[in-house]
Chain A
Amino acid sequence: MRKWVARLVALGVALLVAGQGTTAALAQNPAAGKKIVRVGATQAMDSMNPFLAVRLVSTQIQRWMYGFLTVADSKTLQPSPDLAESWTTSEDGLTWTFKIRQAKWSDGQPITAEDAAWTFNKIMTDEAAKTANGPAVENFESVTASGQELTIKLKAPQASMLENPIPIMPKHVWESVTDMANYDAEKYPTVTSGPYIAIEHKKDQYVKLQANPNYWRGRPKIDELQVIFYANPQAAIASLKTGDIDLIGRLNPPEYEAVQNDPNIVAWNTQGRRAAYLQINHGATTTDDKPVGDGHPALKDPKVRQALHYAIDKDRLVAEVQNGLAQPADGSIVPPMYKEFFWEATGEEKVTYDPAKANQILDDAGYKKGPDGVRTMPDGKRKLEFRFSIHTETPIEDKLAEYLTGFFKEIGITLTTKKLESSKFTEETGVTGLFDIAISGWSVNPDPEEVMATHLCSRRPAPSGEGGGTESFYCDETFEKLYQDQLKELDRPKRIEILKQMQERLYTDAPVIAIYYNNDLEAYRKDRIASITPVPEDKGLLYGGSSYMPFFTVTVKDAAVSGPAGGGGSNTGLIAGIVGAVVVVGLAVLLLSRRRKSAADDRE
């Protein structure tokens, strides 16, 4: 018996030593001596298969792993060469020819136009492969390859062709995949053409990416890029503070404020890619122009919509709902981050907060105030009582609703809040039209064509009630025509001009009212990351943009490399040792007490 105790104690001591040892071992473990950047994400990857993955974290990791035809230029955000070195367009704009760069996949195979052609054809022919990026090839007639030359024939001209969001996949690895719908692509190391190669993925835990030595731009300056998933956003923020992660993107205002004053952290607050707007049910219809839903008739009147616009104090919303971490919207749905495309209202057209003017407009249009201070329709039948649809569990929207209720009360309009959980919300505000005013927003890509398309007639739900994905039930001749024009306009400045006219149309006709542009809030540790360049370089995004450049050019501090595995990792060995020792000591105590008892047994 004694022997057992002695053995256990010995084991305990050994464990403690081992624990100390692991602390040392950690200094030489796979992580030590490497230049690692750890990125926190509050979302786990949905799939490693780029044909299927739609979550932002997944598309972001794809940007780091795979080449695309083009990439947004770091300064101007214009499409610039990536895997496609150069390109030409035919006169009619229907045939595009891309010259694919002479470069190598990470396994040493050459990259050819065949790879690109295979990727596009796969999506065009395989329903399952359409999951992630189906709409991007909808307009493709055919894709063919010859050597390094890729030819894409379109069904109709499309100026935004260069913004293609599809990663080019290695044909020699992927052509053996037969059942795309069920292929999880968990094979490591992956074969990639971008700056990083995925080497490990633990579900719901992390993804490890290794620098690609064969990358055509050169090897990244760090050795490893890790993306660590958190189910609990609070834990992610805490980890940034303790140094377990180095960078975290897409913060919300409270999270940003929590790290703002930390001396070791750079709090990143720049203009973002998102616009928040109110969607107004101005008479929702289906694609056959039949009315749908139960929108308030007053909202069909552009004057009422304009009065609402005048009644909103956007500055106050920014200051108090967004804690100053947004910009009041003086334009439409394209945020100012996209300098080229951003349209700003000026002069007569510009709507600024002016409740008196709003009241004036309504008075003139015949919406008389009743004795209770609430206006009625000119025919006196219905009061101006609108519903405001927001999502459940979104405190910021609650707050917005309270402010808007206050603003509209000033102009004799009653607003009641209607909270819907997300699937119901999507249904009522996008298909069945059972709303008056709803909150909405869109994260805009460098080319605004996609967001503009959400206000086309064709996006309204079909008569059967099937959905197209409209953001406003808008159907306006002027807007339609401008959209068709910009598709054909291959001259960039001219096209930008048309896109600005479209924003102006949305602003003045007000099927949607932009309220603010959310800032891009991120944070990183200054004791770990030496330099990181956003895209666009002037006040741009780090995480979540459409370019790999920030994480290709990122560098880490030397001091951070020589230390043990960085931050919390250094404790792991010690804690592990202690835990082990506690377990062993516990066992020893248990055995000892058993021993005492059995001795007592013997005595009896």
Chain B
Amino acid sequence: MTSVATTRRRQALGRFWTDFRRHRAGAVGLTVLIVAVLLAVTAPLFIDENVTSVVDAPGEEWSGPSLAFPFGTDESGRSILLMVWWGSRTSLLIGFLAALVSIVIGMVVGIAAGHFRGWLSAVLMRITDWFLVLPSLVTALVLAAILGGSTFTIIMAIGITTWPSTARLIRAQTLAVEARPYIERSKALGAGHWHITSRHVLPNVAPLLLASTTLEVASAIVTESTLAFLGVSSNKTSWGTMLRGSYDYGAATQGAWWYILIPGLAILAVVMAFTLVGRALEAVLNPRLRKAS
């Protein structure tokens, strides 16, 4: 029984991969992503926290791109290239963890609201709708401002304000899955809530969750940088805090375009990559869209 399911799922995965590869933009995005994540993960093998140290800064202040500093230096003579590399760790970490928080809340609420009926579902949907209309950036700013800036609070602030859309999506999918006859059968055989949700519903909503997560990460990275610009940051070198630094130190009026452009382009590239992958996933997984295209 299990092995049959496994084989079927493996086949589905193979089909999915073939479909996905056909989306060229998605494939490009995935490549960029893999490279970015690999770079971030392996960064400690090559460089360490010291690249962000202002005391041991290796270069001249505000020097433009050169062989030694391909992307120039900042106001303290630190290498923008190495800072962006090191900063990617914080940016991606916040992106992934905030997305994780958002997805986990969204998944639990979504599946619960779809699986259970009656007042629980109604209450959960009421809460979801309520969170959905809150202006997310404004709410995240208030939360982060009140709780004080740290990596944890930023992650929570972003996670807490972005889960409702995932919850709605998952709930709709759960309803669709549970309408299938085999769930009926399973129930007749005495399967409990836990069995149905974890064995039948979850594997079926997982692909959509994946697409949703990808897009969630993208938006979390942008939100992190916006929060940093508006004065709420994790106090660690990230792309957002670098951009804030370029603003504080007047890179624009200094003519240090590299200080402004490079971290911004890094955000742009990674966020684009996540978005492309997410869209491709969605297109592959969502039969409605597949039919259309």
Q: Which residues of A come within 8 Å of B, CB atoms?
A: 233-234, 237-238, 241, 254-255, 257-259, 392-393, 395, 398-399, 402-403, 406, 419-421, 424
Q: Are B55 and A402 in contact (CB under 8 A)?
A: yes
Q: Are B253 and A399 in contact (CB under 8 A)?
A: no
Q: Are A258 and B254 in contact (CB under 8 A)?
A: yes
Which single residue of chain A is at the shortest CB-CB distance from B248? A395
Interchain Cβ contacts under 8 Å between A and B, 9 examples: A254-B248, A254-B249, A254-B250, A254-B254, A392-B149, A398-B54, A399-B54, A399-B76, A424-B148
Which single residue of chain A is at the shortest CB-CB distance from B228? A393
Instruction: Give a binary string over B68-85; 1 marks a CB under 8 Å from any A CB, 0 the rest.
Output: 000000011000000000
In the assembled complex, the Cα of A254 lies from the Cα of B36 at a distance in Å of 32
| Cβ contacts under 8 Å, B252 to chain A | 234, 238
Q: Are A403 and B55 in contact (CB under 8 A)?
A: yes
Q: What are the 9 A-B residue pairs with the smallest beta carbon separation, nearest first?
A: A258-B253, A254-B249, A258-B250, A399-B54, A402-B55, A237-B253, A254-B250, A258-B254, A419-B235
Q: Are A402 and B247 in contact (CB under 8 A)?
A: no
Judge whether B58 is part of the interface by a CB distance below 8 angstroms.
no
Instruction: Give a binary string over B127-165; 1 marks a CB under 8 Å from any A CB, 0 the rest.
Output: 000000000000000000000110000000000000000
| Cβ contacts under 8 Å, B148 to chain A | 392, 420-421, 424
| Cβ contacts under 8 Å, A238 to chain B | 252-253
**Residues of B in contact, count (CB < 8 Å):** 19
From residue B258, how far is it (CB to closest CB) to chain A in Å? Answer: 16
From residue A71, how far is it (CB to closest CB) to chain B in Å? Answer: 34
Which single residue of chain A is at the shortest CB-CB distance from B233? A393
Q: Which residues of B come within 8 Å of A, CB atoms?
A: 53-55, 75-76, 148-149, 231, 233, 235, 244-245, 247-250, 252-254
From residue B261, how far is it (CB to closest CB) to chain A in Å? Answer: 15
Q: Are B233 and A255 in contact (CB under 8 A)?
A: no
From residue A258, how far is it (CB to closest CB) to chain B in Å? Answer: 4
| Cβ contacts under 8 Å, B149 to chain A | 392-393, 421
Q: Are A257 and B247 in contact (CB under 8 A)?
A: no
Which single residue of chain A is at the shortest CB-CB distance from B54? A399
In the assembled complex, the Cα of A344 lies from the Cα of B74 at a distance in Å of 36
Kindly list 13 other residue pairs between chains A and B, CB separation below 8 angstroms, not including A255-B250, A392-B233, A398-B54: A234-B253, A238-B253, A254-B248, A254-B249, A257-B254, A258-B253, A258-B254, A393-B231, A399-B54, A402-B54, A403-B55, A419-B235, A420-B148
Q: Are A237 and B250 in contact (CB under 8 A)?
A: yes
From residue B17, how far is it (CB to closest CB) to chain A in Å? Answer: 45
| Cβ contacts under 8 Å, B250 to chain A | 233-234, 237, 254-255, 257-258
| Cβ contacts under 8 Å, A420 to chain B | 148
In the assembled complex, the Cα of A233 lies from the Cα of B248 at a distance in Å of 8
Q: Are A402 and B253 in contact (CB under 8 A)?
A: no
In the assembled complex, the Cα of A463 lies from the Cα of B148 at a distance in Å of 27
Which single residue of chain B is at the shortest CB-CB distance from A405? B55
Q: Are B247 and A254 in contact (CB under 8 A)?
A: no
In the assembled complex, the Cα of A238 lies from the Cα of B253 at a distance in Å of 7
From residue B237, how far is it (CB to closest CB) to chain A in Å? Answer: 10
From residue B86, how far is it (CB to closest CB) to chain A in Å? Answer: 15
From residue B53, how far is it (CB to closest CB) to chain A in Å? Answer: 6
In the assembled complex, the Cα of A84 lies from the Cα of B247 at a distance in Å of 46
| Cβ contacts under 8 Å, B231 to chain A | 393
Q: Are A395 and B245 in contact (CB under 8 A)?
A: yes
Q: Are A392 and B235 in contact (CB under 8 A)?
A: yes
In the assembled complex, the Cα of A255 lies from the Cα of B251 at a distance in Å of 9
In the assembled complex, the Cα of A395 lies from the Cα of B244 at a distance in Å of 10
From residue A390, how far is it (CB to closest CB) to chain B in Å? Answer: 10
Which single residue of chain A is at the shortest CB-CB distance from B254? A258
Which single residue of chain A is at the shortest CB-CB distance from B147? A421
From residue B200, how far is it (CB to closest CB) to chain A in Å? Answer: 47
In the assembled complex, the Cα of A398 lies from the Cα of B236 at a distance in Å of 11
